[in-house]
Chains A and B, each alone.
Chain A
Amino acid sequence: MRYSGFQVFLNGLTGNRGWAPVWRDPAPKDHYDVIIIGGGGHGLATAYYLAREHGITNVAVLEKGTIGGGNVGRNTTVVRANYMLDGNVEFYSHSLKLWQNLSAELNYNVMLSRRGCILLAHSDGQLEALARRGNMNLMQGDGAELWDAATLRRHIPYLNFDDPRFPLKGGLMQWEAGTARHDAVAWGYARAADRLGVDLIQNCEVTGFRIERGRVTGVDTTRGHIGAGKVGMAVAGRSSQVAAMAGLRLPIESHVLQAFVTEGLKPVIDTVISFGMGHFYISQSDKGGLVFGGDIDGYNSYAQRGNLPIVEHVAEAGMALMPMIGRARMLRSWGGIMDMTMDGSPIIDRTPVEGLFFNGGWCYGGFKAVPGGGHVFAHLIATGNPHPVATKFRLDRFARGAVIDEEATGATPNLH
């Protein structure tokens, strides 16, 4: 069924009995042309673009849990393209363009809300660094607007401008950035892929690879052996474990990142505010909750829950930036497991095993990259060559010294 206002109206009149399950629940076949491991945002988007752009529809997405149950449903939903380094700028620009028409393309409302994203500056030097970043964004064709303190005060008057440690000197606004509904992104891609013939196989954990003479021929799963011509991994958070089954050792550590939401409030924050110096960023969901987060906890973790020192730190940073949120009550906090790479940038590449491809290492930036990541990963799997906007996310870039280190912190994932 194609969704439309008319369908909503019709079903409203007929007791909403006309809605069918959004995707099938097929049993795995013996063999697929392509198997994607991981039914999160990137895996589902990859399967969709394989079918849609490359005509490869004999595809299965294997998910060990349920569709959308991982990090695609645990992030803070920010969509932006204000990166600075070659390799990143062209990719995130590509991804942001795909977001533009995503709802119409998928026939599923992902609730993209282009409310802008502001990076704050606390010194003249920092403002000049943001001006440089903004110029990089403009050269790439993305939006960037440098705000002085007066402009910032006019748009976002409730910030603490005269904080003695972090006074506000201005910021860099990208109006094209914003938020989207994360669950809808997973469901929308899942439904669209399913309609193109992709098998979404849930509760199917991959337990091993079949590799013959250096070439992958299939995977062993909790639902039996499944043969495959090509296999793509999109399991960020668990990349090291899955890759280890194919004999690969990755430049990745897994860390926990926490996020928080308050009770629903009336509209108060109409953009995405990023307070990098205080490790704090915030937006308001359409439901009214203030959604915010900070840094990773700082040590390896697979626990999907963090510890209280970071909760306290994030709350302090929030209070320092906008004292008005002190009266809001925090409703929930949760954690997700991040693939932290050694330079803070993702990896989308072939692997030393023929026919086995890797997408991961998204650090804490995977959500905004879902359309772009899926699109270029599908291109890589279908053609064997990197997409022109993703030529630098190579697995061997560490050996070649061609790292893409936005934070310039080196091989210390807990500082990215």
Chain B
Amino acid sequence: MKLDCPLCGARDIREFHYQGAASLADRPDPDAPEAQQVFLDYVYMRDNPAGENRELWFHAHGCGAWLVATRNVTTHEFLSVRLAAAREAAP
């Protein structure tokens, strides 16, 4: 498996650390009235699809960037990858 880091290029998967579902990057508002239920879903519940999964990868042994990748979890094929920091800029 190789992951194509937008900053470093295609690198061996051993350089990266898996950080879970991409939804974990969107921390809910702790002051919202329904925050307890929202945080339960945010921390513990997972969609866990058997197909395309949006997930966070950390380039731990590389540039240190956090990445948002879409990967087919039945084939391990990466379909797209971008910097997590580019999230706000994306349409």
Q: Do A and B come from one complex?
A: yes
Write the chain A residue with the least CB distance to B51: A302
Contact residue among A252, A299, A301 (Cβ-Cβ distance under 8 Å from B46) = A252
Which residues of chain B have a CB within 8 Å of any CB of chain A?
Answer: 1, 12-14, 17-18, 20-21, 40-41, 43-50, 53, 55, 71, 73-76
Cβ–Cβ < 8 Å partners of B75 in chain A: 303
Main secondary structure of the interface of B (DSSP, over half): mixed
Task: Choose one: B17, B41, B47, B50; the contact of A302 (CB below 8 Å).
Answer: B50
Q: Is the CB of A307 within 8 A of B76?
A: yes
Given A300-B55, A300-B73; A253-B18 close (CB under 8 Å): no
Q: Which residues A282-316 have CB closer than 8 A to chain B?
A: 298-303, 307, 309
A88 in contact (CB, < 8 A): no
Which chain B positions have C-beta within 8 A of A412? Answer: 20
B43 near A411 with CB under 8 A, answer: yes
CB-CB under 8 A for A414 and B50, given A301-B76, A303-B75? no
Residues of B within 8 A of A414 (CB): 18, 20
Given known contacts A254-B50, A307-B1, is B44 in contact with A342 (CB within 8 Å)? yes
Residues of chain A within 8 A of B20, CB atoms compared? 253, 412, 414
The reply to whether B40 and A253 contact each other, CB–CB distance below 8 Å, is no
By a CB distance below 8 angstroms, the chain A residues around B1 are 307
What is the CB-to-nearest-CB distance from B54 to chain A, in angstroms, rounded to a whole number? 10
- A301 with B73: in contact, given A251-B44, A412-B20 (CB under 8 Å)? yes
- Residues in A neighbouring B73, C-beta threshold 8 A: 254, 299-303
Flag whether A158 is at the interface (Cβ < 8 A).
no
The answer, yes or no, to whether A269 is at the interface (CB within 8 Å) is no
What is the number of residues of chain A that contact chain B, defined by CB distance less than 8 Å? 23
A151 at the interface (CB under 8 A from B): no
Q: For the complex, what is the distance from the CA of A221 to the CA of B48, rounded to whole Å?
A: 22
Assuming A252-B48, A303-B75, what are 12 further A-B pairs, CB within 8 angstroms? A238-B50, A251-B45, A253-B20, A253-B48, A254-B50, A299-B71, A300-B55, A301-B73, A301-B76, A302-B73, A307-B13, A398-B40
| Interface residue from B14, B17, B55, B76 paired with A303 (Cβ < 8 Å) | B76
CA distance A299 to B1 in the complex (A): 12
Interface residues as binary, A246-269 with B (CB distance below 8 Å gives 1, 0 otherwise): 000111111000000000000000
Instruction: Return the chain A residue nearest B48 by Cβ.
Output: A240
- 8 cross-chain CB contacts under 8 A: A240-B49, A240-B50, A241-B50, A250-B46, A250-B48, A299-B71, A302-B74, A307-B1
**Known contacts A299-B18, A301-B73, A302-B74, A251 near B50 by CB under 8 Å:** no
Closest to A398 in B: B44
CB distance B14 to A309 under 8 Å? yes
Residue contact A298 to B18, C-beta cutoff 8 Å: yes
